[in-house]
Amino acid sequence: MSKSISSTPVTPKNTLAGFGKYFRFTLRHNLVRYLVWIAVIVFLIAYVGVYYKSMFDTQAKLDEFAAVGSTAGMVAMIGKISCMATIGGAVWTKIWMFSVLTLGIGMVFQVTKGARADEENGRTELFRSRPFGIHSTLASVVSGALLLCAVIGILTALSSIALKLDPPGTGVTGSFIFGLSVAAIGWLGVGIGALTNQLSASASIANSTGSIIIMVFYCMRMIGDMGNNDTLTWLSPIGWGEKMEPWAYNRGWLIIPTIILTAALIAVAFVIEARRDYGSGVLKDKKGKSEAKPLMRRSWGLILHLYKGSIIGWSIGIVIAGLMFGSVANSMLSLFADTSVPMLKGSGIDALMGLLLCFIGLVSVVLPMLIMTGLRSDEAKGLLESQLAGGISRDRMILDRFIVGTASTALLLVLGGASFGLSYGAVANDMSQVGKLAVDALIYLPGIMAITGVVVLLFGLIPRATIPVTWFIYGMMYFVVLLSDALKIPQWVLNIIPFIGTPRVPYQDFNASVFGYLAAAIVFVALGMIGLRNRDVPR
Amino acid sequence: MNVIEVRELHKNFGKVPALRGLNLEVRQGEVLGFLGPNGSGKTTTIRILLGLLRSDGGTISLFGGDPWKDAVTLHKKLVYVPGDVALWPKLTGGEVIDVLSSLTGGLEPERKKRMTEKFDLDPTKKARTYSKGNRQKVALVAALASRAELLILDEPTSGLDPLMEAAFTDCIQEIKKEGRSVLLSSHIFSEVEKLADTITIIKEGVTVESGSLAQLRHLTRTHVSVILKKDASALRTFKGIHDFSAEGQHISFSLDNEAMPAVLEQIAALDPIGLTINPPSLEDLFLSHYKSVDGTVSGK
C-alpha cells in the first residue's frame, strides 16, 4: 500500500463546509441512542440516590459505610474518596466509577459509529462527494457526543439536587461538581474516540484501542490510590474526575485539564484527518497467512479462532476481577456482618464470597452472550449465507456456537473462581480455596447456559430482536441482582433469573434446582433450532 | 435428469410477491445465462435454490432433491458466489478461501494457487482491506478452484476489471468442457452471449423468455439497412417491415424473421448496391421485453 499520510502538509480549504447540515443529520440520526444514554446514566445515578437515601438514614450508618470504603479492595475498584460519610458522597462512591467508565467507553463507541464505521461502510464517501468539508462529519459526530455528555452532566446535577443529596448547609455545589465529574469523563471518551478513529484502519480496532486507553487510565489511578504516593492518580485523566471529590474538596477546577486534554485530542484528530487518505489509518493492517490453519477449517474451530482475542481478553479481565474480589473479601466483612445488607442473603464471610462469586458469574455471562448474538450480526452481514450454502446445517451452526460459548463460560468461571481463591487464600492462609472456589463458581454454568439459550431462541424465532433484547435482558439482570430487595418483586419471580435463583455457594448448599436451568437451556436451544430450520435466511 | 428444474416458483415477502411463477432449467454440462433487471427476483430464486429461503409454491428440484430439505447433502455438490460478497474481516483472503472450501471438502492446493495467480489476488491481505472487486475475487477463486458439479454465480463479475473478466470467461469455458454445469446470473450481455448455452430472461418474478440464443433471436426482429438505386417507397408498407426510415438512398428498417424471404426478393428487384443484416443482440432481446409502449425502457 502507498503512504497514507502525506509528507507535505497541505490543509484542505473550507474544512467545515456543510457542518450545520451534517450536525443536524447526526442529531436526528442518533436521537434515540442519545436518549437511551441519558436515561441509562441519569437513571442509574438517581436510582442509587433514592436507594441510599432510604438505606442510610442515620449518620452512624454513613460513618460505618465510609469505614469500609477505605479498605484496599474498595479503594482499588472505586477510588480513594474523602466524602463517603455524606449521603451524596455515598452515592458517588457507589455509582460514579461504574457510570463514568460506562459513559467514557460508550462515547468511544459513539464516535466510532458516526466516524470510522460510516467511513468503512461507505456512507461518508457519499457525503464527501457533495460539498462537505473534510472535517464536517467528524466535527458533527464529536459535537453531538460532547453535547450529549453535557446534558447528562447537567441532568445528573439536577437529579442530585432534587434528591437532596447535598448535606444541609452546603448549598448545591457538591451536586454541580458531581455532574461536572460525570460529563468530564464522557468528554474525555469523546476525545479519545476522535483520535483512535484517525489512527486505526478499522472501526473495531478504533473501539478496542479507545477502550484500552480508558482502562489504562483507570489502572493508573488504581495504582496511585493503592500506594502511599498518589502521583499516578493525579496524572490519570480518570483520576482528575475522581479527585474532584464533591462534598469534600469540590475541586471543580480539575475540569480545566480535562477540557484542555479533550480539545488537544480532538485537534490532533483533525490534523491527522486532514493529512490521511480516506479509508486508511496511521496504524496499518499487518499481512497474514495465505493458508488457513486446520483448526479454522472446522466450523467450531472457526468460531474459536474468530473469538480467540475476546476469550483471552475476558480471561485476563476475570482473573484481575477475581484477584481484587479476594483481597476485598476480608476487609468488607466488618460492614456486612453488622448491617446485614439484604443483597447478601445472610451474613458472614461465606455469604460475602457467595455474592462475589455471583458477580464473577455476571461478568462471565457477557462473553457467551457476545458469541451467540454474533449469529445474528453474521446473518445481517451475509456471512451465514456463504456458510449455509457451503454445506453446514442450520443445527450445526447453532450448536457449534453454543458449545464454544459454553466452554468459554466454563473457562471464565474456573479462572475467576481460582484467582478469587488465590488472593483470598493468600490472606486467609488457606490455599485449598483455589480449587474449591474454582469448582464453586461452576454452579453458575447451567444458569448462564439458560441465558445464552434465550439468545438462540430469539435468533430462531424473532431474529431482528435478538441483539437489542439480549442486551436489555442483561441490563435488567444486572439491576435486579444489585437492587432486588428494593424492587419488591416476589421471590419466585426473581428466582427465574439465574443469578438470583442459583444457590449462593459456598454460603448456601448446592442443590438440584440448577438442573432446572440446564433443562431450560436445552428447551430454549431446541426451540431456537426448530425456529431456524423453518425460517428464511436472511430474514 | 436436469441439474436444476424449477416450475411455477412463487415467493412472497409478507404481502409483496417477489416470484410469481418462475420457470428455470439447467441441464447437465450447460451454462445457463440468467438475466433480469435489479429487483426482478434473480437473487431470491438463487437463495431458494440454496435452501436459504423457503418457496411459497411451485416445484423445484436440485440434483433431483429438495433444496430446502436436503440442503446439506446437496451443497456438497455445488459452490456459490453471492452477489454481495461478505468475508470475515479479520481473516486473510487465503484463509477465507480455505475456510469456505473446507465446508465442501477442501481444495487441491495447486488449484487454489493457480486460481489466485490467474486472478492476481494477494491472499495474505486481511479481508477488511479488500475492495469490492477483490472480495469478489476471493469468493470466485474459492468457487473456481473447486471441482463442484454445479456453480451458482450471482453477478460474479460485476466488480471485476476487463482482464479479470477474460480470466473468468476462460475458467467457465474450461468448466463447461469438463461437463460441469453453471447457473450464471449476470448483467453483462457480452459475457452471457459468449458463455451461455441457454438463456432465461425474467421480469417481475416471471420467466418471460427462455431458450438458446439462436431460438431467442427467432422471436425478435432482425435489423436491415440497405442502399437502393430504385425508389423504395413500396417497402414502407410491406408486410413484416417496421420502423421504416429513408434518407436518400439509405433505407433502414427492422424485419420480422418470417417475412425475410419475401422482403429479400423485393429488395433484389430494387437494385441494391449495399446490404447489411444484423441479428438482434442479446441486449436488444433483453430491452425488447422491458420496452413499454412509448419506447422507454423500464424494469416494470
Give pLDDT, residue B227. 92
Evaluate if residue A345 carries a pLDDT over 50.
no
A438-462 pLDDT, tens per residue? 999 999 999 999 999 999 999 999 9
- CB contacts < 8 Å between A and B, how many? 117
Residue type, B277: I
The alpha-carbon gap from A22 to the nearest alpha carbon of chain B, in Å, equals 27
How far is it, in rounded angstroms, from Cα B150 to Cα A147? Answer: 56
How far is it, in rounded angstroms, from Cα B23 to Cα B45? Answer: 10
**Between B210 and B296, residue with greater pLDDT:** B210
Three-state secondary-structure class, residue B97: helix
Evaluate if residue B300 carries a pLDDT over 90.
no
Of A289, A393, A535, which is closest to B94 when you measure between CB atoms? A289
Contact in structure between A266 and A192 (CB atoms under 8 Å): no
Q: What pTM does this model have?
A: 0.79
Q: Between the CA of residue A500 and those of A405, A429, A456, A517, what are the distances in Å?
A: 21, 30, 22, 12
Evaluate if residue A385 carries a pLDDT over 60.
yes
In degrees and rounded to multiples of 5, residue B67 shows phi and psi of -60, -25
Q: How far apart are the first and last CA of chain B?
A: 34
Three-state secondary-structure class, residue B276: strand
Selection from A151-155, A318-322, B236-240 with the highest mean pLDDT: A151-155
Give pLDDT, residue A224. 82
C-alpha cell, A113: 459509529
In degrees and rounded to multiples of 5, residue B184 shows phi and psi of -115, 105
A533 reaches B (C-beta below 8 A): no
State the angle between helix axes of A366-381 and A308-339 in degrees (0 to 180), rounded to the nearest 10: 140
**Mutant choice from A290, A376, A378 vs B, greatest count of B C-beta within 10 A:** A290
State the angle between helix axes of A394-428 and A433-441 in degrees (0 to 180), rounded to the nearest 10: 150
The residue to which cell 486446520 is assigned = A294
Q: Which of A100, A48, A102, A93 is nearest to A248 (CA)?
A: A93
A483-537 pLDDT, tens per residue? 666 667 788 888 889 998 999 888 888 888 899 999 999 999 999 999 999 999 9
Neighboring chain B residues of A302 at a CB cutoff of 8 Å: 88, 99
Q: Is the ipTM of this complex over 0.85?
A: no
The alpha-carbon gap from B80 to the nearest alpha carbon of chain A, in Å, equals 7
In B5-16, which positions are buried (b, 16+ CB within 10 angstroms) versus exposed (e)?
bbebbbbeeeee
Q: Which of B161, B31, B140 is nearest to B80 (CA)?
A: B140
A392 reaches B (C-beta below 8 A): yes
B164-211 pLDDT, tens per residue? 999 999 999 999 999 999 999 988 888 898 999 999 999 999 999 899
A36-68 pLDDT, tens per residue? 999 989 998 898 899 888 888 888 888 888 876
The rounded percent of chain A whose pLDDT value lies above 90 is 53
Where, residue-wise, is CATH 3.30.70.260 in chain B? 221-279
How far is it, in rounded angstroms, from Cα B110 to Cα A25? Answer: 52
A536 reaches B (C-beta below 8 A): yes
Neighboring chain B residues of A537 at a CB cutoff of 8 Å: 52-53
Structure letter (DSSP) for residue A276: B
Task: Identify the band that residue A1 occupies on the pLDDT scale cut at 50, 70 and 90.
Answer: very low
Q: Which of A335, A395, A339, A389 is nearest to A525 (CA)?
A: A395
Neighboring chain A residues of B116 at a CB cutoff of 8 Å: 290
Yes or no, beta carbons of B82 and A385 under 8 Å apart: yes
Q: Which CATH superfamily is domain B4-216 in?
A: P-loop containing nucleotide triphosphate hydrolases (3.40.50.300)
Instruction: State how beta strands B206-211 and B57-62 pair.
Output: unpaired
The residue to which cell 457477557 is assigned = A366
How far is it, in rounded angstroms, from Cα A76 to Cα A70? Answer: 10
Yes or no, beta carbons of A291 and B104 under 8 Å apart: no
Yes or no, beta carbons of A285 and B76 under 8 Å apart: no
Residues in chain A: 539
Q: Which CATH superfamily is domain B221-279 in?
A: ACT domain (3.30.70.260)
